Structure 1
Amino acid sequence: MNMLFPPPAPSVRTESYQPTASGQRIPSLDLLRGVALLGILLMNILAFGKTEASVYQVVRGHTG
């Protein structure tokens, strides 16, 4: 086996993925995903607004 030339990669599936029809979607799951994304966005906005020292203080905990 030659280490300079690895074996060819296995074949890739060629089927294409299409969007799910609206009748097959679960609205409550879409709502849950949306709320989760908004929560992540809110936490990122709050974290990016702080200085680096204050972010690390939260991670380490207050030591006095």
Structure 2
Amino acid sequence: MAGKLRWTDVRDIAIELEERHPGIDNVNLRFTDLHRWVMELPGFEDDPNRSNEKILEAIQAAWIEERD
């Protein structure tokens, strides 16, 4: 993924998560894990504290949709 990822790049984050964690149960996951995995993505350069439950829910939904 070229460029910097931010919390608002929900679709791009979902694609990256699917590539890096294809075996993870992305329906039943803890938001603490999701937050950490997003922070670990190469190119992710946003403030960890700018995340919230709504953003994490959107990322999770996009990830589930990406897998389908």
> How does the TM-score come out when normalised to structure 2?
0.26
With the length of structure 1 as denominator, give the TM-score of the two structures.
0.27
User: Max radius of gyration: which structure?
Assistant: 1
More helix by share: 2
